Amino acid sequence: MTRAREQRFERFAAWLADRSARYRLGTDAEAVRTRLLALRDRLTERPLRTPSGTYGSAETEQYLDAEPADRAGAAAALAALARGRAPDGGGDGKARVAAPPLVAPFAGTALLCSQVTHAGSFAEQWAALR
């Protein structure tokens, strides 16, 4: 680890300790540090295989090296991995957002299936559908 990464990890461990009620990874920075490094070693030896993916050393290292803006997602992912579960979302610990509903899916299909052979105007296409 480079010195900058070590410092970032130490700050992250302290941040997690301050939020021990939420993430349950330890109540002081040293306990969090010990637990996360043990988690990394465990997942290096025996990656967690789930239907949503495999989580090993590469994924754990990314979470451990979280930038301050990404701490909440990384913390949630590490908390899930510590409990033997896959992180929520796309592996970033953040809940998946439901896909937006399709807006008038038939409208696009109707235009594609029309009898008009050129796209002169919407009025022409509409008239061909009637």
30-72 tens-digit pLDDT: 999 999 999 999 999 999 998 878 899 888 998 998 889 889 9
- Is the pLDDT confidence value at 5 over 80? yes
- Same-domain pairing of 75 and 114: no
Tokens of 6: 């070590």
DSSP letter at 90? T
Contact 13, 28 (CB under 8 A): no
Looking at the whole model, is its pTM more than 0.85? Answer: no
- Same-domain pairing of 30 and 62: yes
- Same-domain pairing of 117 and 54: no
Quote the number of domains for the chain. Answer: 2
- Same-domain pairing of 76 and 107: no
Domain that holds residue 65: 3-82
What spatial distance separates the first Cα and last Cα of the chain, rounded to whole Å? 69
According to the model, what pLDDT value does residue 91 have? 55
Looking at the domain assignment, is residue 39 inside a domain?
yes
Residue 56's contacts (CB-CB under 8 Å, 6 or more residues apart) are 43, 44, 47, 48
